[in-house]
Amino acid sequence: MALKNLSKSQYRFLDYELKEQMKRDLITENQLEEIMKTYEESEGLNFIKVILSVGAVLIGLGILSFIASNWIHIGRVIKLLVIFLALGGTLLTSYKTEINSPKISKAFLYLSTLIFGAGIFLIGQIFHLGGTWSDAFLIWTIGTIAMAFLSKDLLISIFAHLLAATFILSGFDKNIIILGLFVTALFYALNKYYNYSSVMTFFTNLISLIFILYLCNYFEIEAFYTIVLFFLIGLGMYYMKHPLNLHVFQLQGLIVLSLSGLLLTIDEIWRDIFHLDYGGIFSIVFGICFLIYLLSLVKKQLLTPLIFTCAIIMRYYFDTLYDFLPKSMFFIFGGMILLSFGVYFERVRKKRGGDMG
């Protein structure tokens, strides 16, 4: 079973409370241990770790920038040798410091991942490799995924996701279907390896969504159908029950369905399919149904639909009243709508203890 991740303070509170219950003989020591075994304490932000990581990233960026400057005084072979030596050096330092200074060891792992990227771009520069060169990001992604598997470091894994997103977004006009599927599958496998961390699932789902957007664009699916597809995906993510971080799926599902629903309230999108006369009618009918649906979700004290309800109301307000109302009235009413939503938003948030679902 996946361990539930708690912040440091939550973990300590739970531990303290359960010990209190044990003292009152409400639970046994074994039960306490069994309960605590189902939770894990989040590492949280650590000042030294932040400083070391930022330092590593800055050095890495410096190396990337140095490669980009294409300095004439160092030959190409020497530059390549420097990259390979730097890779070996940083990995060796990471290995040597792993036991006694794990934070320094991690910083050197980050640095080696960036140096690997610099190596990729150096090769592109040396051989004047042209085109949009999304392949560079694919190779960087694969290397970083390998690193994420071996290091089990969440930051490296998130970086791999960002690289994969860049790869897919820069390859929109190319056939990267098999490669995209392969990378997405690798990320879901990586989820298992990371004990089904919520952050990992969030980013992997994001990659899947970007990949679906790529597929829609590649197969030239019209904007209307793409948005409807995303609306259905959002509904699926929100309502389908499964054991993999359901709360992450639900949050992302809500965001996806709300964003695509918001787009479907624009009549131009419907006009592409239902031509000029009916586009406006369909968008208004959809807008009303969607607003009712969002309000039903708001009733369940969910914050994401509340934000989008506010967005829809403001969108209609701008579209219909901007030209008719005097500007001063327009802004005063607009401000009042936003203020009322703000007050309601704050109330809901307090009731839910800051949970954004």
Partner 1 sequence: MKELFKKRGFKYILIFVIFTLLLTSMMAKPVLTLFLGQEIQIKVKAYDPRDIFRGDYIQLAFEIDEISVDKLDSDIRQLSESNLEKNLYNKELYVLVTQQGTYYEVDKVTLKTPKEGLYLKTKFLYAQRHENNEVTGIIVEYPLDKYFVPENTGKELEEKVQKGEAYATIKVFKGYAVLEEILMEK
Residue closer to partner 1, measured from CB, 27 or 215: 215
Q: Rule CB under 8 A: say whether 123 interacts with partner 1.
A: yes
Q: Rule CB under 8 A: say whether 112 interacts with partner 1.
A: yes
Among 43-51, 60-68, 303-311, 313-321, the segment contacting partner 1 (CB under 8 A): 60-68
Tell me how far apart the alpha carbons of residues 72 and 66 are, in angstroms, rounded to a whole number.
11
**Which residues in the 146-175 window bind partner 1 by CB under 8 A?**
146-147, 150-151, 173-175
Q: Rule CB under 8 A: say whether 314 interacts with partner 1.
A: no
Q: Rule CB under 8 A: say whether 310 interacts with partner 1.
A: no
Tell me how far apart the alpha carbons of residues 69 and 218 are, in angstroms, rounded to a whole number.
35
Q: What are the b/e assignments for 272-303, b being 16+ CB within 10 Å?
A: eebeeeebeebbeebbeebbebbeebbeeebb
Q: Rule CB under 8 A: say whether 222 interacts with partner 1.
A: no
Tell me how far apart the alpha carbons of residues 140 and 90 are, in angstroms, rounded to a whole number.
17
Q: Check if the beta carbon of residue 60 is closer than 8 Å to that of residue 114.
A: yes
Residue 277 is classified by DSSP as H
Tell me how far apart the alpha carbons of residues 205 and 262 are, in angstroms, rounded to a whole number.
21
Q: Rule CB under 8 A: say whether 13 interacts with partner 1.
A: no
Nearest to 202 by CA among 260, 161, 141: 161
**Binding test (CB under 8 A) with partner 1, winner from 82, 114, 142, 210:** 142
Q: Rule CB under 8 A: say whether 95 interacts with partner 1.
A: yes
Residue 353 is classified by DSSP as T
Least distance to partner 1 from the beta carbon of 125, Å? 5
Q: Rule CB under 8 A: say whether 88 interacts with partner 1.
A: yes
Residue closer to partner 1, measured from CB, 89 or 334: 89
Helix (H) or strand (E) holding 84: helix 76-97
Q: Rule CB under 8 A: say whether 217 interacts with partner 1.
A: no
Q: Which residues bind partner 1 (CB under 8 A)?
A: 64, 67-72, 83-84, 87-88, 91-92, 94-95, 98, 112, 116-117, 119-121, 123-131, 136, 139, 142-143, 146-147, 150-151, 173-175
